[in-house]
Amino acid sequence: MLITMDEFTIQETRKFPQATGDLSALLRDIGLAGKIINNQVRKAGLVDILGKHGATNVQGEEQMKLDIFANETLIKILKSSSECAGIASEENDDHLPYEDAYSTQAKYVVLFDPLDGSSNIDVNASIGTIFAIYKRVSPVGTPCTQEDFLQPGNKQIAAGYIIYGSSTMMVYATRLGVNGFTLEPSIGEFCLSHPNMKCPENGNIYSINQGNSVKYSEGMLAYVNYCMESNKEEGRPYRQRYIGSMVADMHRTLIKGGIFIYPGDKSSPNGKLRLQYECNPMALIMEAAGGKSVDGANNTLEIVPTELHQRCPIFTGSKNMVKKAMEFVK
């Protein structure tokens, strides 16, 4: 018997008598945006959606047509959701308050990376959407403000991703745990397929862009050497896997265990990935699944953001692998 994501979240919220069901409505809206984006992704190559859009985003990165489509879809759907007071997106310079009468009454704000893994769009590899939900700190009844979007990751109410892979899945975490839902195309619903996901405590896959190793710190280089040399010793044969879509690399890490790293290096001390759109949501998922996530010294979820688009190094995945890596880079 299939359980749809909607049925599941409603059942979960019923465990808390004071819950109003707003969060399930918001997750449903994000899921709807995911289905619309998925629909375009599945036609990529047939319709004119591949390739560059011709502009750069606030981070100076080239925007692809699908980046723009995904961004606009999420912005539009969340605007008509009565549960979202405003959004911040990797593709927009500033946060965007929704100023209509319904939205200003909403309790939540959403931050997202609308299309993660842009460089993989044109080559038909897995890409995704990442989102984080926070309860606003500004007063309900007024437009949301920048401080709503600068809360540390441990204030996330829920976070998740949609992966457009060999199948399409939505995975989300709350403090209660992590659950995965596969899109059943014939009914157009995400259905529970991966209940109570747990990241194995140990793993044997390390996932990092090793092409950057000339720029690594000594500690980072030593850890990568430790991973490479592991095949010489019995008992810890490590393998390297790196797709270059964080969502895809993290989905594998969550299911199979392992470590995903995007470190700071000599030219980019804070690495590449964005704290608010990529690191925090993935860190919440990992922690709720029993894994661990740090920036090299501190727990990712404890970092207090100072600006919307700030970058942050990340080491995340199987608890024991992250701890081992820390011994090298601390």
Which residues contact Mn ion by CB under 5 A? 90, 113, 115-116
**Which listed option, ligand AHG, Mn ion, none, makes contact with residue 128 (CB within 5 to 8 Å by class)?**
none
Does the protein bind ligand AHG through residue 24 (CB under 6 A)?
Answer: no
Residue 97 or 296: the one with the smaller Cβ distance to ligand AHG is 296
**Which member of 83, 116, 265, 287 binds ligand AHG (CB under 6 A)?**
116
Q: How many CB atoms lie within 10 A of CB 131?
A: 28
**Which listed option, Mn ion, ligand AHG, none, makes contact with residue 219 (CB within 5 to 8 Å by class)?**
none
Output the residue with the shortest Cβ distance to Mn ion: 116
Distance, CA of 24 to CA of 28 (rounded, Å): 6
The distance of closest approach from Cβ of residue 249 to ligand AHG in the complex, given in angstroms and rounded to an integer, is: 6
Which positions from 263 to 282 touch ligand AHG by CB under 6 A, shown as an x/- string? ---------x----------
Angle at 12 (CA atoms; ends 10, 17), nearest 5 degrees: 90
**Which member of 117, 263, 296, 317 binds ligand AHG (CB under 6 A)?**
117
- By rule CB under 6 A, what count of residues binds ligand AHG? 11
Angle at 256 (CA atoms; ends 250, 261), nearest 5 degrees: 40
Q: Which amino acid is at 202?
A: N
User: What are phi and psi for residue 267, nearest 5 degrees?
Assistant: -90, -25
Does the protein bind ligand AHG through residue 245 (CB under 6 A)?
Answer: yes
Residue 106 or 208: the one with the smaller Cβ distance to ligand AHG is 208
**Which member of 89, 104, 118, 276 binds ligand AHG (CB under 6 A)?**
118
Give the residue from 266, 330, 273 showing the smallest Cα distance to 298: 330
Distance, CA of 228 to CA of 222 (rounded, Å): 10
Cα diameter, the chain: 64
The distance of closest approach from Cβ of residue 58 to ligand AHG in the complex, given in angstroms and rounded to an integer, is: 12
CB crowding 31-68: b at 16 or more within 10 Å, else e: bbbbbebbebbeebeeeebbeeeeeebeeeeebbbbbb
The distance of closest approach from Cβ of residue 245 to Mn ion in the complex, given in angstroms and rounded to an integer, is: 8
**Which listed option, Mn ion, ligand AHG, none, makes contact with residue 9 (CB within 5 to 8 Å by class)?**
none
**Which listed option, ligand AHG, Mn ion, none, makes contact with residue 209 (CB within 5 to 8 Å by class)?**
ligand AHG
Q: Classify 262 as helix, strand or coil.
A: strand
User: Could you give the C-alpha distances from 285 to 22, 143, 224, 255, in angstroms and in order?
Assistant: 20, 29, 25, 12
Which residues inside 184-223 make contact with ligand AHG, applying CB under 6 A? 209
The distance of closest approach from Cβ of residue 147 to ligand AHG in the complex, given in angstroms and rounded to an integer, is: 25
Residue 62 or 100: the one with the smaller Cβ distance to Mn ion is 62
Residue 23 or 247: the one with the smaller Cβ distance to Mn ion is 247
Q: Describe the strand order of the beta sheet including 292-294 as a list of residue ranges.
A: 239-240, 205-207, 259-262, 314-317, 292-294
- Contact status, residue 259 vs residue 325, Cβ threshold 8 Å: yes
Residue 144 or 199: the one with the smaller Cβ distance to ligand AHG is 199
Residues near ligand AHG, by CB under 6 A: 61, 90, 113, 116-118, 209, 244-246, 272
